[in-house]
Amino acid sequence: MVFGQVVIGPPGSGKTTYCNGMSQFLSLLGRKVAVVNLDPANDALPYECAINIEDLIKLSDVMSEHSLGPNGGLVYCMDYLEKNIDWLEEKLKPFIEDHYLLFDFPGQVELFFLHSNARSVINKLIKKMDLRLTAVHLIDAHLCCDPGKYVSALLLSLSTMLHLELPHINVLSKIDLIENYGNLAFNLDFYTDVQDLSYLQYHLEQDPRSAKYRKLTKELCDVIDDFGLVNFSTLDIQDKESVGNLVKLIDKSNGYIFSSIDSSAVEFSKIAAAPLDWDYYRTAEVQEKYMKDDEFAQLTSRMQ
C-alpha cells in the first residue's frame, strides 16, 4: 500500500508552502517523501519536486496556443493529464515501493467541486496503483474574520468533500496570522467545530453586502448544518506541534498508522478504539509486542 495526501485549496491558502513544510517534517520522522507538482501554474517551487506536470504540459503554452485565460488553461491541463494518465503512472512507479506521496494540485476550486477531471485523475491512481490518499483542503484562516466569507468557505469545503469522495480533512491554514485581520466574533472553537451557524445571522445582517441575501444565506447555513460533515483543524506550518497534530489526523484517516501492523480483526478494533494520542516514535516491533503482551494479560485475567 502507498500512502499520501492530495493537497487542495483556493489560491493563496498556502498549498505549496504546506507541501514544502510537510515534506520536511515527514522526512524528520524517517519517511521517504516524494512531492508531485500537478499545478502547471506553479513555476516557483520551494521544494524538491519528484514529478512535475510541466514535463508533460505547460500552462503558458496552452494559453498562447488555444487563446485561453488562466482558468480555462488549467481546466485544459487537467483534461490533458486525465487523458495521459499513463505518463503520471509511469513516473510514479519508482516511488510506490517506499515513498509517501504529496500531490500539490492547482488552486482553481472549480476543479474540485464542479469539474470531474481532477477527481478522475485521483480515482484512476487509487484504483490502478492501490494508493491510500487523504484530501487535505486548506482554507486561509483570515476568512473567519468575515462571516460572509466564512460561510462561503464552509460551502466550498462541503461541496469539495461530497465531490471528491475521499477521506477528507479541512484545515484553517496560517492560523498564526489570524489576529492580524481583526477580532473574531466568537471563540476559535466556534469556527473549527462549526457550531450553530444561526449565531452568525446578526453579524451577517450588519454587513450591507450580505444583508439583502439574508434568506439565501440562512438556507445555505441550514444545508451545512443538516449535512454536519464540515469541521476544521488548525495549522501553523512553522510550529512542529501543530504540524504533528495534523499528521496524526491524516495518518488515521488514510490508515497509515495500521500499515506496519499485521493483526487480526480483533486487534485492529482494539487499536481503532484507542485514545487519539498515538505514539509515532514506537517501532513496528514494539507495537506488535505491546499487542501480544496485552492479549496475554487479558487471557491470563480470564483464566484466573
d(CA 13, CA 256) in angstroms, rounded, equals: 26
250 has pLDDT over 90: yes
Per-residue pLDDT at 294: 52
The predicted model gives 253-272 an average pLDDT of 62
Q: Are strands 168-173 and 2-8 parallel, antiparallel or unpaired?
A: unpaired
49 compared with 283, residue with greater pLDDT: 49
Per-residue pLDDT at 62: 94
196 has pLDDT over 70: yes
The predicted model gives 68-88 an average pLDDT of 94
296 has pLDDT over 50: no
Per-residue pLDDT at 136: 97
Per-residue pLDDT at 212: 75
Could you read off the pLDDT of 28-37 as tens digits, one per residue? 999 999 999 9
Per-residue pLDDT at 155: 94
In percent, how much of the chain has pLDDT > 90?
61
67 has pLDDT over 90: yes
Kindly report which listed range (43-47, 221-225, 279-283) carries the lowest average pLDDT score.
279-283
86 has pLDDT over 70: yes
Q: Which CATH number fits domain 2-194+230-301: 3.90.1420.10, 3.40.50.300, 3.20.20.70, 3.40.50.1100?
A: 3.40.50.300
291 has pLDDT over 50: no
Per-residue pLDDT at 42: 85
247 has pLDDT over 90: yes
Per-residue pLDDT at 169: 97
Contact 231, 193 (CB under 8 A): yes
In this prediction the pTM is 0.83
d(CA 267, CA 62) in angstroms, rounded, equals: 53
Sheet holding 131-140, edge to edge: 49-52, 32-37, 99-104, 2-8, 131-140, 168-173, 232-234
Could you read off the pLDDT of 36-53 as tens digits, one per residue? 999 998 878 898 999 999
302 compared with 92, residue with greater pLDDT: 92
185 has pLDDT over 80: yes
Cβ-defined contacts of 182-190 (< 8 Å, 24+): 182/145, 183/145, 184/144, 184/145, 185/147, 188/144, 188/234
In percent, how much of the chain has pLDDT > 70?
85
Contacts for 72 with CB less than 8 Å, ≥ 6 apart = 66
Kindly report which listed range (109-113, 134-138, 210-214, 218-222) carries the lowest average pLDDT score.
210-214
220 has pLDDT over 70: yes
Per-residue pLDDT at 261: 55
Residue 99 belongs to what H/E stretch?
Answer: strand 99-104
Confidence at 260, pLDDT banded by 50, 70, 90: low
Q: What is the total residue count of the chain?
A: 304
d(CA 293, CA 111) in angstroms, rounded, equals: 49
d(CA 81, CA 25) in angstroms, rounded, equals: 29
